[in-house]
């Protein structure tokens, strides 16, 4: 018999239970199982659907970055125990700084190559995690050395909630310097080898940025051999406010010290 559309005729159901049982065995009906997603697929799904997770991971990454940039580096052995006065110190001709320590406030800085960058008339170091020495053809500033003829200027960035090489110089939330008068700063230069120049904190300032260049209490009225300035920005307690003041510390050359090896 021909069936329309070429369909096969249905068989009449078997009347006995044995036939039905055999038919059930021949055509079992197993539930359909879905493939389990892989771990990576589950992670991607959670990442796409959770903005909170992305924020948390971003915060953790920032903290880890901060820990690598602002990590505490111990001063090299001998730095604070081998000091000699300026009269006993070896002659160290002025040259660019390569490393700095302020042990009292756990500041350690390496230096970028060359003079500090200047942007729109203001010192603006290239790097957040390195300091710089500033000299210019139209300024009398000196590089550090035992025979420097005028002020040595060292600048470094601070950051609002982010790492900065000079973050420890000033406490913006308490609005106060963390350096105390009499604290020591040690600088190693390209010409000093394992000798370090020693400077002692003598004066603290927090001027408005617009007035910094005209402040005679910072720059003096004439040449100031042996004087060094560290300059950074003051980050306000409210991170949404702009930084409009500088943290400036004046230091005076006192002598030298030496270490057996470079710091780690």
pLDDT tens digits for 21-70?
333 333 333 344 455 677 777 777 766 777 665 544 554 444 444 444 45
pLDDT, position 44: 73
Residues 6+ apart with CB under 8 A from 61: none
Is residue 12 pLDDT above 70, yes or no?
A: no
Average pLDDT of the chain?
A: 82
pLDDT, position 27: 32
Of 200 and 263, the structure prediction assigns the larger pLDDT to 200
Question: Cα angle vertex 128, ends 127, 129, to 5°?
Answer: 90
pLDDT in tens, 198-231: 999 999 999 999 999 899 999 999 999 999 999 9
pLDDT, position 237: 83
Of 223 and 3, the structure prediction assigns the larger pLDDT to 223
Predicted TM-score of the model (pTM): 0.73
Where does the pLDDT of residue 184 fall: very low under 50, low under 70, confident under 90, or very high at 90 and above?
A: very high
Of 236 and 65, the structure prediction assigns the larger pLDDT to 236
Residues 6+ apart with CB under 8 A from 157: 125, 127, 128, 164, 165, 166, 232, 233
Percent of the chain with pLDDT over 70: 76
- Nearest one of 157, 181, 161, 124 to 232, comparing CA atoms: 157
- Nearest one of 65, 69, 147, 149 to 109, comparing CA atoms: 69
pLDDT, position 10: 39
- Give Cα separations from 212 to 56, 151, 160 (angstroms): 40, 15, 21
Rounded mean pLDDT of 144-169?
95
pLDDT, position 68: 45
- Nearest one of 29, 5, 25 to 14, comparing CA atoms: 25
Q: Which of 61-70, 103-112, 165-174 is the least confident region? A: 61-70
pLDDT, position 162: 87
Where does the pLDDT of residue 148 fall: very low under 50, low under 70, confident under 90, or very high at 90 and above?
A: very high
| Residue position matching structure tokens 């230069």 | 189
Rounded mean pLDDT of 175-201?
97
């Amino acid at each position: 018999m021909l069936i329309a559309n070429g369909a096969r005729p249905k068989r009449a159901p078997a009347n006995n239970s044995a036939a039905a049982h055999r038919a059930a065995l021949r055509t079992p009906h197993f539930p359909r199982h879905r493939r389990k997603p892989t771990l990576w697929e589950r992670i991607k799904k959670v990442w796409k659907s959770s903005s909170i997770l992305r924020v948390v991971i971003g915060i953790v990454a920032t903290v880890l970055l901060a820990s690598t940039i602002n990590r505490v580096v111990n001063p090299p052995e001998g730095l604070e125990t081998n000091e000699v006065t300026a009269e006993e110190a070896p002659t160290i001709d002025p040259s660019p700084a390569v490393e700095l320590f302020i042990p009292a406030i756990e500041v350690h800085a390496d230096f970028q190559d060359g003079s500090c960058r200047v942007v729109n008339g203001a010192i603006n170091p290239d790097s957040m995690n390195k300091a710089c020495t500033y000299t210019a053809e139209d300024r009398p500033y000196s590089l550090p050395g035992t025979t420097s003829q005028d002020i040595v200027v060292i600048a470094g960035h601070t950051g609002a909630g982010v790492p900065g090489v000079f973050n420890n110089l000033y406490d913006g939330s308490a609005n106060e310097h963390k350096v105390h008068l009499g604290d020591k700063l040690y600088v190693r230069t390209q010409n000093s080898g394992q000798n370090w120049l020693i400077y002692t904190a003598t004066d603290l300032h927090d001027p408005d940025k617009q007035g910094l260049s005209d402040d005679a209490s910072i720059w003096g009225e004439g040449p100031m051999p042996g004087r060094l300035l560290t300059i950074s920005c003051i980050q306000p307690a409210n991170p949404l406010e702009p930084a409009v003041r500088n943290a400036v510390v004046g230091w005076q050359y006192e002598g030298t010290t030496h270490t057996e090896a470079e710091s780690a």
